[in-house]
Structure 1
């Protein structure tokens, strides 16, 4: 690197000698203006700064900038970025071959273009989320591109580039897991898949040996010669199930076996996708915030980077109109004993057809007009209406059978998504908990409420229960609003740095990986 940059700097000094200084400057500036015209932000920056070079002078400062950028883009794969997009070899050749002021001007702009591409990719992601999946409605914290340049030239270049990445413990842990997975690839991964659709405790034979060997390779089992599915193997399976969000029964059923047989390449793809997703959320998340991970079926309260409360959740079903979207917002209040105003889509798609067959269907839910008055079902000829023309709404009174349960948590958003209780408690015992219309149901909503109310109530449990006992719909505003981040991570790490994996229930990560792959991201392997 140093040799090349020195040679390039020398070349840039030598080729200017035969020409008058004014002609050199004019030719350089014309080339910069011409090349920059293809990018509005680059053109605006150079125009505002008199087309002065950032990279291509033979000064120590600009030499350091070149070295920092070349080093960063060559190592872009460490972050799961597409190295070919930055073409470090081509950029180096362009600099080495710059023999005229015009060549130098063209190289100057190319350096800036690559710098801006790399900076944005590293800080806020290679992809635009909504272009990959319309349910990823996250607002990525994009930065004004010109500020990258102005901040860079006033900073130490190497730390500036290094600090663009997410500065979270999660991102660092994912980077370590990526390196570990790449090293595993050089070692042949976890060995052969287990040639069985399922195995139970007490089983014997070659399939059990294959399961034993696979779990040993994964680090769930110490070296052993056992050929029987014994208590030790059962405990190893249980540990694996815990790390993959499965029912911890110690039985290698079909779902568990499918996860055990996932390849290192598949897991590595999940890690790289998780790193990209972490870049999309590269902003302050709040000293206290709520984190909902859709494929993990969990909702957590996080205080100063530590999970202080976590509960199981049910998320939207895998149907186009029921998927839980990914976005961030701010929780403003809690509703105790909520009324359920049935969304129009549910009224017309689900309840109207039922009431056309039987006017008393869903009789526990009131029919209301546009002024909120209760309408007698006997006065309505449901068969005369379509989903478009049906003039009524539906509303369910507070109570234990209310679809929202006894409490809901509101962060106003245009997607009409919120967290809430539910009377359907049995669904929380399932491995895969994708059953709702899009909102997030909580297994322990009361404890969730106590945690959120603790900063503003001396006895949050007693306070909550007093409001609940009234049976009336009560709005409790949070003294300090709490950011809510609904994310989708099939690979994530524990506080100890261990990585857990979940199934890609909506197929979103698969689509993201396909897009990353098309952009030039490749599965690497670390030698040694």
Structure 2
């Protein structure tokens, strides 16, 4: 039998491995001891003197499974604690400095934002925190471990939920409205994990309170319980409630200059450095509640469901990149089916009088009057229609272009009488401008381009011209029914699309009772 020889070179490696394992074991024991000591110093409860982090980690995991369905964003919570060895972050860092005691007080005042404090379980959190101030509250390690896990999970969950509500709103507008195309930031793991890294919870909670002048102005009236002129207290309350939620959405303009259209106000403003430098009336798309049959004060249950009228102007943000002067109107198929072929059937010269050309398979029809339009329906309509530039063109003398999914734009109109009406939801979805040349002057400035626009708009036999903006300008088309004007006076407008009612219906489960 051959003799076994020991490789002398392997001895140092074995010795080194033994030393590393020993040091690691001692470091682990030291770490375990420090955690137990820290918790004992904070709580003064002897049961924490012998806390075993590994057993506590198992208790935490068990509690996580038991409470999973009640937690807000449990995946973020689980990932954080797993990455941090299940350390009781909030208890270690915020129990002794009073931060945990202060959290329920913030939750209890959330009704000042129109939200229900019970969403954040202030009473449950207060009871748990009180126990950790009582040196005799826990008699066994098992009881202490479970309570510690509960405190961590409840604090993390409620803080994330509260933080999300105040910073992003409780409703995601993209899930609520089918015609909402405005870039809106929603909570993500980075924003939610901020609660774990806060040096002071009280400082953090103060920092996330909405502070915009608009929000504070509406909140002041909301807290006071005042009535707006012409509204009952209840309807005022509801107006303020839905618009406070809108103000919490992270969809506000951030650029120094932008074009702002508020659908219910039928107004356009050019905002620069926070102030309106140009204001004009606009006409917007028709909506389902133009007759004011329903309001936040009184509505039927069917109004709670979003059923957008086909001609509603969408909410969106984009960038105005160019204008078409004396534009050709490519008439949408929906308008052609509902209006153009109907009018052509009534009057064989309607198309000629309106300067509308007819095309089939891309080829222009020389004699559209010869077509029997009474036999054309939306089912067999194979024609395309284009309206030539001119005084009767539905787009007027100029349109402002920006990319969007709904094929809408700002444009001039020959139908000037609509601007004298208070109800200006009259278009097919695009926004008609009360003073398009003033907007062109503001966006282009004085110079050759603007001179060309003025000249081309005044021509009797116009030709289409496209001109790019020297400085592309952001545009926001939004829906706000209540706000504070420049003098601090609270304004409100009828809910022409019924979007307030839909929002209010979804907010009810979050509202203070």
Give the whole-Å Cα distance in 2 for the aligned partners of 1:34 and 1:152: 20
Residue 499 of structure 2 corresponds to which residue in structure 1? 508
Change (3 A) 1:300 1:112: same
Alpha-carbon distance, 1:304 to partner? 0.9
Residue 382 of structure 2 corresponds to which residue in structure 1? 391
Question: Deviation digits for residues 495-522 of structure 1, max 9, x if unmatched?
Answer: 2211111111222112222322232244
Change (3 A) 1:299 1:152: farther
Moved over 6 A (4+): 8-11
Larger displacement relative to structure 2 (396-405 or 276-285): 276-285
Residue 313 of structure 2 corresponds to which residue in structure 1? 324
Question: Deviation digits for residues 42-94 of structure 1, max 9, x if unmatched?
Answer: 2222222222223123x457745524533332221222223221121122224
Alpha-carbon distance, 1:283 to partner? 4.3
Give the whole-Å Cα distance in 2 for the aligned partners of 1:512 and 1:411: 28
Q: Which of the two has higher C-alpha Rg?
A: 2
Change (3 A) 1:473 1:274: same
Residue 270 of structure 1 corresponds to which residue in structure 2? 239
Q: Give the secondary structure class of the aligned counterpart of 1:295.
A: helix
Residue 417 of structure 1 corresponds to which residue in structure 2? 408
Q: Is structure 2 residue 88 aligned with structure 1 residue 53?
A: yes
* Preserved contact between residue 449 and residue 467 of structure 2 (Cα < 8 Å): no
Residue 82 of structure 1 corresponds to which residue in structure 2? 116
Give the whole-Å Cα distance in 1 for the aligned partners of 2:400 and 2:94: 57
RMSD over equivalenced CA pairs, Å: 2.9
Q: Give the secondary structure class of the aligned counterpart of 1:105.
A: helix
Residue 77 of structure 2 corresponds to which residue in structure 1? 42
Residue 454 of structure 2 corresponds to which residue in structure 1? 465
Residue 115 of structure 1 corresponds to which residue in structure 2? 159
Alpha-carbon distance, 1:9 to partner? 9.8
Residue 26 of structure 1 corresponds to which residue in structure 2? 57
Give the whole-Å Cα distance in 1 for the aligned partners of 2:471 and 2:40: 56
Gaps of 5+ in 1: 1-7, 190-217, 219-259, 523-528
Alpha-carbon distance, 1:374 to partner? 4.6
Change (3 A) 1:284 1:426: closer
Residue 259 of structure 2 corresponds to which residue in structure 1? 290
Give the whole-Å Cα distance in 2 for the aligned partners of 1:370 and 1:163: 61
Change (3 A) 1:449 1:159: farther
Alpha-carbon distance, 1:378 to partner? 4.3
Alpha-carbon distance, 1:422 to partner? 0.7
Give the whole-Å Cα distance in 2 for the aligned partners of 1:93 and 1:375: 84
Residue 29 of structure 2 corresponds to which residue in structure 1? none
Residue 153 of structure 1 corresponds to which residue in structure 2? 197
Alignment of 1:307-346 (within 5 A): 307-319=276-288, 320-346=309-335
Change (3 A) 1:55 1:388: farther
Q: Give the secondary structure class of the aligned counterpart of 1:56.
A: helix
> How many corresponding residue pairs?
437
Larger displacement relative to structure 2 (138-147 or 321-330): 138-147
Alignment of 1:131-146 (within 5 A): 131-146=175-190
Alpha-carbon distance, 1:387 to partner? 1.5
Q: Give the secondary structure class of the aligned counterpart of 2:414.
A: coil
Give the whole-Å Cα distance in 1 for the aligned partners of 2:44 and 2:377: 78
Give the whole-Å Cα distance in 2 for the aligned partners of 1:73 and 1:29: 25
* Preserved contact between residue 394 and residue 414 of structure 2 (Cα < 8 Å): yes
Alpha-carbon distance, 1:463 to partner? 4.4
Change (3 A) 1:406 1:74: same
Give the whole-Å Cα distance in 2 for the aligned partners of 1:61 and 1:452: 56
Give the whole-Å Cα distance in 2 for the aligned partners of 1:84 and 1:503: 32
Give the whole-Å Cα distance in 2 for the aligned partners of 1:151 and 1:85: 17
Question: Deviation digits for residues 361-380 of structure 1, max 9, x if unmatched?
Answer: 34321112343635531454
1:162 to 206, 219, 233: 206
Residue 16 of structure 1 corresponds to which residue in structure 2? 47
Give the whole-Å Cα distance in 2 for the aligned partners of 1:305 and 1:346: 38
Alignment of 1:86-485 (within 5 A): 86-97=120-131, 99=138, 100-150=144-194, 153-180=197-224, 182=225, 184=226, 260-319=229-288, 320-363=309-352, 364=354, 365-371=356-362, 373-374=364-365, 376-378=367-369, 380-382=371-373, 385-454=376-445, 457-458=446-447, 462-469=451-458, 471-485=462-476
TM-score by length of 2: 0.77
Change (3 A) 1:48 1:473: farther
TM-score by length of 1: 0.75
Alpha-carbon distance, 1:345 to partner? 0.9
